[in-house]
Amino acid sequence: MTLASMARKYEARKAPERKVATSAMIASLAAEGYDTVAAPFGHALVEAAKTDDRIVGLSADLSKYTDLHVFADAMPERFYQMGMAEQLLMSVAAGMARERFLPFATTYAVFAARRAYDFIAMAIAEENLPVKIVCALPGLTTGYGPSHQATEDLAIFRGLPNMTLIDPCDAVDVAGMVPAMVAHEGPVYARLLRGKVPSVLTRHRPDYRFELGRAQVIREGGDVLVISSGIMTMRALDAAEKLAGDRIDVAVLHVPTIKPLDVETILAESQAGGRLVVTAENHTVNGGLGEAVARELLTAGVASRFRMIALPDEFLEAGALPTLHEMYGLSVDRVAAQIKSWL
Protein backbone atom coordinates (compact mmCIF):
# COMPACT_ATOMS: atom_id res chain seq x y z
CA MET A 1 0.00 0.00 0.00
CA THR A 2 1.45 3.37 -1.01
CA LEU A 3 1.48 6.44 1.22
CA ALA A 4 -1.07 8.06 -1.08
CA SER A 5 -3.44 5.09 -0.88
CA MET A 6 -3.05 4.96 2.90
CA ALA A 7 -3.98 8.61 3.08
CA ARG A 8 -7.10 8.00 1.01
CA LYS A 9 -8.05 4.99 3.11
CA TYR A 10 -7.98 6.92 6.38
CA GLU A 11 -9.11 10.35 5.23
CA ALA A 12 -12.35 11.71 6.67
CA ARG A 13 -15.42 10.67 4.73
CA LYS A 14 -17.97 13.22 3.62
CA ALA A 15 -21.22 12.52 5.41
CA PRO A 16 -24.37 12.08 3.31
CA GLU A 17 -26.75 15.00 3.25
CA ARG A 18 -29.51 12.93 4.77
CA LYS A 19 -29.21 10.04 7.21
CA VAL A 20 -31.77 7.48 8.24
CA ALA A 21 -31.39 6.59 11.90
CA THR A 22 -30.73 2.91 12.58
CA SER A 23 -28.21 0.91 14.55
CA ALA A 24 -28.35 -2.11 12.24
CA MET A 25 -25.54 -2.82 9.78
CA ILE A 26 -27.72 -5.40 8.07
CA ALA A 27 -31.34 -4.23 8.20
CA SER A 28 -34.55 -5.75 6.97
CA LEU A 29 -35.29 -5.03 3.33
CA ALA A 30 -39.02 -5.11 3.96
CA ALA A 31 -40.86 -1.89 3.27
CA GLU A 32 -43.65 -0.85 5.57
CA GLY A 33 -46.81 -2.89 5.09
CA TYR A 34 -45.27 -6.04 3.62
CA ASP A 35 -45.51 -9.43 5.31
CA THR A 36 -42.33 -11.49 5.56
CA VAL A 37 -41.52 -15.17 5.12
CA ALA A 38 -38.75 -16.82 7.14
CA ALA A 39 -35.99 -18.57 5.15
CA PRO A 40 -37.98 -19.23 1.94
CA PHE A 41 -34.96 -20.70 0.15
CA GLY A 42 -34.19 -23.27 2.84
CA HIS A 43 -37.79 -24.44 3.11
CA ALA A 44 -38.27 -24.59 -0.67
CA LEU A 45 -35.12 -26.69 -1.03
CA VAL A 46 -36.34 -29.13 1.61
CA GLU A 47 -39.65 -29.52 -0.23
CA ALA A 48 -37.88 -30.10 -3.54
CA ALA A 49 -35.52 -32.65 -1.97
CA LYS A 50 -38.42 -34.70 -0.61
CA THR A 51 -39.28 -35.78 -4.15
CA ASP A 52 -35.80 -35.63 -5.73
CA ASP A 53 -33.10 -37.67 -4.04
CA ARG A 54 -30.40 -36.16 -6.29
CA ILE A 55 -30.49 -32.88 -4.37
CA VAL A 56 -27.64 -32.21 -1.95
CA GLY A 57 -26.64 -29.01 -0.14
CA LEU A 58 -23.12 -27.67 0.29
CA SER A 59 -21.88 -24.58 2.12
CA ALA A 60 -18.54 -22.87 2.78
CA ASP A 61 -19.10 -22.30 6.51
CA LEU A 62 -22.14 -20.09 5.86
CA SER A 63 -25.15 -22.40 6.07
CA LYS A 64 -26.73 -20.31 8.84
CA TYR A 65 -26.32 -17.15 6.76
CA THR A 66 -27.66 -18.59 3.51
CA ASP A 67 -30.66 -20.35 5.09
CA LEU A 68 -29.17 -23.72 4.12
CA HIS A 69 -29.23 -24.66 7.81
CA VAL A 70 -32.94 -25.40 7.30
CA PHE A 71 -31.99 -28.06 4.75
CA ALA A 72 -29.12 -29.32 6.93
CA ASP A 73 -31.45 -29.79 9.91
CA ALA A 74 -34.08 -31.60 7.83
CA MET A 75 -31.70 -33.78 5.80
CA PRO A 76 -28.31 -33.93 7.57
CA GLU A 77 -27.18 -36.94 5.53
CA ARG A 78 -27.43 -34.84 2.35
CA PHE A 79 -25.63 -31.76 3.68
CA TYR A 80 -21.89 -31.12 3.27
CA GLN A 81 -19.96 -28.49 5.22
CA MET A 82 -16.89 -27.55 3.18
CA GLY A 83 -15.35 -25.03 5.57
CA MET A 84 -14.02 -21.62 4.59
CA ALA A 85 -12.83 -22.75 1.15
CA GLU A 86 -15.01 -21.49 -1.70
CA GLN A 87 -12.80 -22.95 -4.43
CA LEU A 88 -13.13 -26.37 -2.79
CA LEU A 89 -16.89 -25.83 -2.46
CA MET A 90 -17.30 -25.31 -6.21
CA SER A 91 -14.92 -28.11 -7.15
CA VAL A 92 -16.71 -30.63 -4.95
CA ALA A 93 -20.08 -29.47 -6.29
CA ALA A 94 -18.81 -30.05 -9.82
CA GLY A 95 -17.59 -33.54 -8.91
CA MET A 96 -20.92 -34.44 -7.32
CA ALA A 97 -22.77 -33.19 -10.40
CA ARG A 98 -20.65 -35.53 -12.52
CA GLU A 99 -21.88 -38.37 -10.30
CA ARG A 100 -25.50 -37.44 -11.11
CA PHE A 101 -26.19 -35.48 -7.93
CA LEU A 102 -27.89 -32.07 -8.08
CA PRO A 103 -25.75 -29.82 -5.85
CA PHE A 104 -26.97 -26.53 -4.37
CA ALA A 105 -23.82 -24.66 -3.29
CA THR A 106 -24.27 -21.62 -1.05
CA THR A 107 -21.98 -18.83 0.08
CA TYR A 108 -21.84 -15.03 -0.07
CA ALA A 109 -22.02 -13.51 -3.55
CA VAL A 110 -18.63 -11.78 -3.19
CA PHE A 111 -16.91 -15.06 -2.41
CA ALA A 112 -18.42 -16.91 -5.37
CA ALA A 113 -17.84 -14.09 -7.85
CA ARG A 114 -14.35 -13.05 -6.74
CA ARG A 115 -12.66 -15.97 -5.02
CA ALA A 116 -14.11 -18.95 -6.86
CA TYR A 117 -14.70 -17.58 -10.37
CA ASP A 118 -12.04 -19.65 -12.16
CA PHE A 119 -13.28 -22.86 -10.53
CA ILE A 120 -16.87 -22.03 -11.50
CA ALA A 121 -15.80 -21.22 -15.06
CA MET A 122 -13.61 -24.26 -15.67
CA ALA A 123 -15.19 -26.97 -13.51
CA ILE A 124 -18.87 -26.03 -13.81
CA ALA A 125 -19.75 -23.66 -16.67
CA GLU A 126 -17.42 -25.05 -19.34
CA GLU A 127 -18.69 -28.55 -18.59
CA ASN A 128 -22.31 -27.30 -18.44
CA LEU A 129 -22.88 -29.15 -15.18
CA PRO A 130 -26.14 -28.69 -13.22
CA VAL A 131 -24.58 -26.99 -10.20
CA LYS A 132 -26.88 -24.42 -8.58
CA ILE A 133 -24.92 -21.58 -6.96
CA VAL A 134 -27.08 -19.63 -4.50
CA CYS A 135 -25.48 -16.57 -2.95
CA ALA A 136 -26.52 -14.23 -0.15
CA LEU A 137 -25.68 -10.52 0.27
CA PRO A 138 -26.02 -9.52 -3.40
CA GLY A 139 -25.41 -5.90 -4.37
CA LEU A 140 -25.99 -3.42 -1.56
CA THR A 141 -27.77 -5.68 0.94
CA THR A 142 -25.18 -5.37 3.69
CA GLY A 143 -23.52 -2.41 5.35
CA TYR A 144 -20.20 -4.17 5.91
CA GLY A 145 -18.39 -2.45 3.05
CA PRO A 146 -16.66 -3.59 -0.16
CA SER A 147 -15.43 -6.90 1.28
CA HIS A 148 -19.06 -8.09 1.49
CA GLN A 149 -20.91 -5.93 -1.06
CA ALA A 150 -21.23 -7.91 -4.31
CA THR A 151 -22.03 -4.93 -6.50
CA GLU A 152 -20.47 -6.45 -9.64
CA ASP A 153 -21.48 -10.13 -9.42
CA LEU A 154 -23.96 -10.07 -12.32
CA ALA A 155 -21.42 -8.36 -14.59
CA ILE A 156 -18.88 -11.04 -13.74
CA PHE A 157 -21.21 -13.96 -14.43
CA ARG A 158 -23.09 -12.48 -17.41
CA GLY A 159 -20.03 -13.05 -19.55
CA LEU A 160 -19.80 -16.73 -18.61
CA PRO A 161 -21.23 -19.09 -21.27
CA ASN A 162 -23.88 -21.62 -20.17
CA MET A 163 -24.62 -19.73 -16.94
CA THR A 164 -28.20 -18.74 -16.12
CA LEU A 165 -28.61 -15.75 -13.76
CA ILE A 166 -31.52 -15.08 -11.38
CA ASP A 167 -32.12 -11.93 -9.33
CA PRO A 168 -35.25 -12.51 -7.20
CA CYS A 169 -37.38 -9.71 -5.79
CA ASP A 170 -38.98 -11.33 -2.76
CA ALA A 171 -40.03 -14.51 -0.93
CA VAL A 172 -42.35 -15.50 -3.79
CA ASP A 173 -39.50 -15.38 -6.27
CA VAL A 174 -37.07 -17.15 -3.94
CA ALA A 175 -39.48 -20.03 -3.28
CA GLY A 176 -40.45 -20.23 -6.94
CA MET A 177 -36.93 -20.20 -8.33
CA VAL A 178 -35.90 -23.39 -6.49
CA PRO A 179 -38.06 -25.87 -8.46
CA ALA A 180 -37.22 -23.96 -11.64
CA MET A 181 -33.51 -24.39 -10.90
CA VAL A 182 -34.02 -28.09 -10.24
CA ALA A 183 -35.76 -28.48 -13.60
CA HIS A 184 -33.09 -26.49 -15.48
CA GLU A 185 -30.38 -28.76 -16.87
CA GLY A 186 -27.41 -26.38 -16.76
CA PRO A 187 -25.61 -24.29 -14.13
CA VAL A 188 -27.40 -21.43 -12.39
CA TYR A 189 -26.19 -18.47 -10.35
CA ALA A 190 -28.95 -17.06 -8.15
CA ARG A 191 -28.82 -14.07 -5.86
CA LEU A 192 -30.39 -14.86 -2.50
CA LEU A 193 -32.51 -12.87 -0.08
CA ARG A 194 -32.23 -14.59 3.28
CA GLY A 195 -33.74 -14.44 6.75
CA LYS A 196 -37.12 -12.71 6.94
CA VAL A 197 -37.83 -11.96 3.31
CA PRO A 198 -40.70 -9.62 2.30
CA SER A 199 -43.56 -10.95 0.20
CA VAL A 200 -44.13 -8.22 -2.37
CA LEU A 201 -45.17 -9.34 -5.83
CA THR A 202 -48.44 -11.10 -5.07
CA ARG A 203 -49.64 -8.05 -3.15
CA HIS A 204 -49.48 -6.07 -6.38
CA ARG A 205 -50.34 -8.94 -8.72
CA PRO A 206 -52.08 -11.85 -6.95
CA ASP A 207 -51.57 -14.31 -9.83
CA TYR A 208 -47.80 -13.77 -10.06
CA ARG A 209 -45.64 -16.88 -10.26
CA PHE A 210 -41.90 -17.06 -10.92
CA GLU A 211 -41.03 -18.36 -14.39
CA LEU A 212 -37.43 -18.86 -15.44
CA GLY A 213 -36.54 -16.62 -18.37
CA ARG A 214 -39.74 -14.60 -18.28
CA ALA A 215 -40.28 -10.93 -17.43
CA GLN A 216 -43.73 -9.98 -16.15
CA VAL A 217 -45.64 -6.71 -15.82
CA ILE A 218 -46.51 -6.23 -12.15
CA ARG A 219 -48.06 -2.78 -12.46
CA GLU A 220 -49.52 -0.95 -15.48
CA GLY A 221 -48.81 2.71 -16.19
CA GLY A 222 -48.87 5.17 -19.05
CA ASP A 223 -46.10 7.68 -18.30
CA VAL A 224 -43.05 5.66 -17.26
CA LEU A 225 -41.91 2.05 -17.65
CA VAL A 226 -39.52 0.82 -14.96
CA ILE A 227 -37.69 -2.37 -15.93
CA SER A 228 -36.32 -3.77 -12.69
CA SER A 229 -34.85 -6.81 -11.01
CA GLY A 230 -34.25 -8.01 -7.47
CA ILE A 231 -35.13 -5.74 -4.57
CA MET A 232 -35.40 -2.79 -6.94
CA THR A 233 -38.72 -4.15 -8.18
CA MET A 234 -40.00 -3.67 -4.64
CA ARG A 235 -38.54 -0.17 -4.59
CA ALA A 236 -40.03 0.61 -8.01
CA LEU A 237 -43.50 -0.54 -6.95
CA ASP A 238 -43.40 1.57 -3.80
CA ALA A 239 -42.06 4.56 -5.76
CA ALA A 240 -44.87 4.11 -8.30
CA GLU A 241 -47.45 4.38 -5.53
CA LYS A 242 -45.72 7.50 -4.22
CA LEU A 243 -45.62 9.10 -7.69
CA ALA A 244 -49.28 8.34 -8.28
CA GLY A 245 -49.98 11.12 -5.77
CA ASP A 246 -48.32 13.50 -8.24
CA ARG A 247 -50.38 12.06 -11.11
CA ILE A 248 -47.39 10.27 -12.58
CA ASP A 249 -48.44 6.86 -13.87
CA VAL A 250 -45.63 4.30 -13.55
CA ALA A 251 -45.60 0.75 -14.94
CA VAL A 252 -43.22 -1.86 -13.49
CA LEU A 253 -41.81 -4.75 -15.53
CA HIS A 254 -40.11 -7.28 -13.24
CA VAL A 255 -37.14 -9.13 -14.78
CA PRO A 256 -36.06 -11.88 -12.35
CA THR A 257 -33.93 -13.68 -14.95
CA ILE A 258 -30.99 -11.58 -16.08
CA LYS A 259 -29.65 -14.27 -18.41
CA PRO A 260 -31.29 -15.40 -20.61
CA LEU A 261 -33.06 -12.05 -20.87
CA ASP A 262 -36.71 -11.94 -21.94
CA VAL A 263 -35.94 -9.68 -24.90
CA GLU A 264 -39.34 -10.10 -26.55
CA THR A 265 -41.27 -8.79 -23.55
CA ILE A 266 -38.79 -6.00 -22.85
CA LEU A 267 -38.93 -4.71 -26.42
CA ALA A 268 -42.72 -4.97 -26.60
CA GLU A 269 -43.20 -3.03 -23.38
CA SER A 270 -40.53 -0.45 -24.25
CA GLN A 271 -42.26 0.36 -27.54
CA ALA A 272 -45.72 0.74 -26.01
CA GLY A 273 -47.04 4.26 -25.55
CA GLY A 274 -43.88 6.35 -25.91
CA ARG A 275 -43.09 6.06 -22.20
CA LEU A 276 -39.86 7.02 -20.49
CA VAL A 277 -37.95 3.75 -19.95
CA VAL A 278 -35.97 3.43 -16.69
CA THR A 279 -33.98 0.41 -15.57
CA ALA A 280 -33.52 -0.13 -11.82
CA GLU A 281 -31.08 -2.61 -10.32
CA ASN A 282 -29.17 -3.32 -7.11
CA HIS A 283 -25.90 -3.58 -9.03
CA THR A 284 -23.20 -1.38 -10.48
CA VAL A 285 -24.05 0.61 -13.61
CA ASN A 286 -21.51 -1.56 -15.44
CA GLY A 287 -22.52 -4.87 -16.94
CA GLY A 288 -25.88 -5.51 -15.30
CA LEU A 289 -29.55 -5.26 -16.24
CA GLY A 290 -29.36 -1.64 -17.41
CA GLU A 291 -26.62 -2.23 -19.95
CA ALA A 292 -28.28 -5.47 -21.11
CA VAL A 293 -31.58 -3.68 -21.75
CA ALA A 294 -29.86 -0.71 -23.41
CA ARG A 295 -28.10 -3.05 -25.84
CA GLU A 296 -31.36 -4.71 -26.83
CA LEU A 297 -33.14 -1.37 -27.31
CA LEU A 298 -30.32 -0.02 -29.49
CA THR A 299 -29.84 -3.11 -31.62
CA ALA A 300 -33.61 -3.38 -32.20
CA GLY A 301 -33.83 0.30 -33.17
CA VAL A 302 -36.23 1.13 -30.35
CA ALA A 303 -35.83 4.87 -29.78
CA SER A 304 -37.12 4.99 -26.22
CA ARG A 305 -36.18 7.75 -23.80
CA PHE A 306 -33.88 5.81 -21.49
CA ARG A 307 -32.39 6.27 -18.01
CA MET A 308 -30.71 3.99 -15.44
CA ILE A 309 -30.98 3.68 -11.67
CA ALA A 310 -28.03 1.66 -10.38
CA LEU A 311 -25.06 1.78 -8.05
CA PRO A 312 -22.06 3.92 -9.00
CA ASP A 313 -18.84 2.53 -10.44
CA GLU A 314 -16.96 2.67 -7.15
CA PHE A 315 -16.35 0.79 -3.93
CA LEU A 316 -19.17 1.70 -1.58
CA GLU A 317 -19.17 2.94 1.99
CA ALA A 318 -19.85 0.86 5.10
CA GLY A 319 -22.68 1.86 7.40
CA ALA A 320 -26.32 1.32 8.22
CA LEU A 321 -28.15 -0.16 5.26
CA PRO A 322 -31.05 2.34 5.08
CA THR A 323 -28.52 5.18 5.14
CA LEU A 324 -26.56 3.59 2.31
CA HIS A 325 -29.67 3.02 0.21
CA GLU A 326 -30.54 6.69 0.61
CA MET A 327 -26.96 7.74 -0.18
CA TYR A 328 -26.70 5.65 -3.35
CA GLY A 329 -30.19 6.23 -4.72
CA LEU A 330 -31.88 2.91 -3.96
CA SER A 331 -34.42 4.14 -1.39
CA VAL A 332 -38.06 4.65 -2.38
CA ASP A 333 -37.78 8.42 -2.01
CA ARG A 334 -34.64 8.60 -4.14
CA VAL A 335 -36.09 6.36 -6.85
CA ALA A 336 -39.26 8.45 -7.01
CA ALA A 337 -37.28 11.70 -7.09
CA GLN A 338 -35.03 10.50 -9.91
CA ILE A 339 -37.96 9.39 -12.04
CA LYS A 340 -39.78 12.67 -11.45
CA SER A 341 -36.69 14.69 -12.43
CA TRP A 342 -36.48 12.92 -15.79
CA LEU A 343 -40.03 13.73 -16.88
Please list the active-site residues.
86
Contact status, residue 224 vs residue 278, Cβ threshold 8 Å: yes
Range 172-196 burial, b when 16+ CB lie within 10 A, else e: bbbbbbbbbbbebebbbbbbbbbee
The one-letter amino acid code at 150 reads: A
What DSSP line would sit under 58-96, residue for residue? Answer: EESS-TTTTTTHHHHHH-GGGEEE--S-HHHHHHHHHHH
Q: Is 249 helix (H, G, I), strand (E, B) or coil?
A: coil
For residue 334, which of 142, 324, 343 has the smallest C-alpha distance?
324
Contact status, residue 57 vs residue 107, Cβ threshold 8 Å: no
Local structure of residue 150 (DSSP, 8 states): B
Contact status, residue 145 vs residue 316, Cβ threshold 8 Å: yes
